[in-house]
Structure 1
Amino acid sequence: MNVYRDSRLPILFYGVPSGCSFGSIVALEWLGRPYQLCRIEMPEIVSSEHYKRINAVGETPTMRTAAGDFISESLAILNHIGAQDLDRGLTFAQGTPAFDRFNQVLAYLNTSLFDAYSPFWYAVEHDLDAPQKKALTDYGRAKVLKAHADLEAMLGDRPWLLGEQRTLADAYFIGIARWNEYHRVVDRQDYPNLQRLYDQLEADPAVVFAHAIERREAAEGTGGFVGEIALDEVLEQLPRVRDVIEVPSIAPVLWA
């Protein structure tokens, strides 16, 4: 769907299938401000020289902000999104104890839960013999089990990861937690607190929307989604966008 064009609109470059950029789509829906999406097929397009003009390391997500800057890595993107409207409570003011706690949880999800599934994705994407695959997935299974046990204890009986209010940590969580539906590493019923959070998020309209976007099904957003834009069209805009913000090079800024 290509319904609107404005070089000042944020664009999220999201990876399919099952990219961790899912959480950033949910975050943008919760924010409620106008934005566009750019679909990046993995591994074909994400590793192409065309896309590397957007993200030099060939990964998703990346976001082009309203100012024309490019941000990569989910943690950086989610912090940028949340800071656009602190009154929504999706994150907290930097320098506060609440913000430190938010960053701690977000970092745990990235370094522990996300990383725990990496061996399984590697095993899917590479040609390994049986002993190699078993060693890799056994290692990954131990990491997934530990991450689930840790998160189960961290969540307790609270409704959301940070307590009484929904934050972008929950958006990131659902984007990663759904990977278990594909790899079937654990039975989430063994972790009732996490199962409760997972079910609650799966019923959220923004999560339903993000699933539909990935599947190319009819998707009705409740936020500010105004349509998709093709990668080629974004690349055509790059010189104009960089001129507007007076950056001498058209090469995007990459935040590692």
Structure 2
Amino acid sequence: MHPTLFYGVPSGCSFGSIVALEWLGEPYRLCRIAMPEDVTGDAYRRFNPVGETPTLMDAQGHCLSESLAILNHIGARGISAGLGFAQGTRDFDRLNQMLAYLNTSFFGAFAPLWYALEHGAQGADKAALTGYGAAQVRKVHAGLEAMLGDQPWLLGERRTLADAYIIGIARWTRYHAVLDRKDYPGLQSLFDKLEADPAVRFAHAIERQEAADSSGGFLGHVRLDEVMAPR
């Protein structure tokens, strides 16, 4: 059995795990999980009891959830490709630090905006949520711009899993028009470079259910009931 990534649509943060698997190049399958319909159902909760995506089921049938954990798992398999680094090294610590920042501060900055949008907040509640969320999103963009400096990638001269992860979250500004990324030229350059990457284009096509050309080890989609069958 090959690893299977359960990814959420529309526009889930699991996008980054798809990109990372493409960069890794090893065989894998995908299972599409609609949010909120499938992700909160009993069937999917057999794989992830908290009802969130992504979840990665490995070749032995063990499930791993949370983007940070999944990306570190992929990174451990992609050390020779420069996607990850040996634990205990300075490079591993730097990657883990960046992934943690993206997984907490950067991701979390959008939470008030998503709540306002998905729960139909109105009036003073909407103003408070969007105002706070907008301020947080601008803050984390400014922080990342400072950390990036004049580097071509988040950690320096070559791409890592941190770059795979950020592109799935950074695109959320198209739902929440709270800043102009051009005010952060380093991040804009990184965003444009990632959007042109074949693995990122592949992940976009997968989400849109369009013809997708894999440059990695994609073996096709499997339905949730098909993954459940042998369990």
Q: TM-score band (shorter)?
A: over 0.9
**2:74 and 2:92 mapped to 1: Cα distance?**
14
- Alignment equivalent of 2:158, drawn from 157, 165, 176: 165
TM-score, length of structure 1 as denominator length: 0.89
User: What's the CA shift for 1:128?
Assistant: 2.1
Question: Structure 1 stretches of 5 or more lacking a match?
Answer: 1-7, 239-256
**2:211 and 2:37 mapped to 1: Cα distance?**
24
After superposition, the C-alpha distances for 1:109-130 in whole angstroms (9 at most, x for unaligned) are 1111100111111111113221
- Matched residues, percent identical? 68
User: What's the CA shift for 1:84?
Assistant: 1.0
- Alignment equivalent of 2:52, drawn from 47, 50, 59: 59
Letter in 2 for 1:19: G
After superposition, the C-alpha distances for 1:1-39 in whole angstroms (9 at most, x for unaligned) are xxxxxxx20000000000000000000000000000000
Q: What residue in structure 2 maps to residue 203 of structure 1? A: 196
Question: Structure 2 stretches of 5 or more lacking a match?
Answer: none
SS of match in other structure, 1:23: helix
After superposition, the C-alpha distances for 1:67-94 in whole angstroms (9 at most, x for unaligned) are 2110000000001011113100101100
Residues 40-189 of structure 1 aligned to structure 2 (within 5 Å): 40-189=33-182
**1:36 and 1:185 mapped to 2: Cα distance?**
35
Letter in 2 for 1:150: G
Q: What residue in structure 2 maps to residue 253 of structure 1? A: none
User: What's the CA shift for 1:148?
Assistant: 0.4
What is the aligned length? 231
**Is residue 12 of structure 2 the alignment partner of residue 19 of structure 1?**
yes
User: What's the CA shift for 1:157?
Assistant: 0.7
TM-score, length of structure 2 as denominator length: 0.99
**1:9 and 1:77 mapped to 2: Cα distance?**
15
SS of match in other structure, 2:56: strand
Bigger CA radius of gyration: 1
User: What's the CA shift for 1:198?
Assistant: 0.2
Letter in 1 for 2:121: L
Letter in 1 for 2:195: E
SS of match in other structure, 1:144: helix
Letter in 1 for 2:15: F
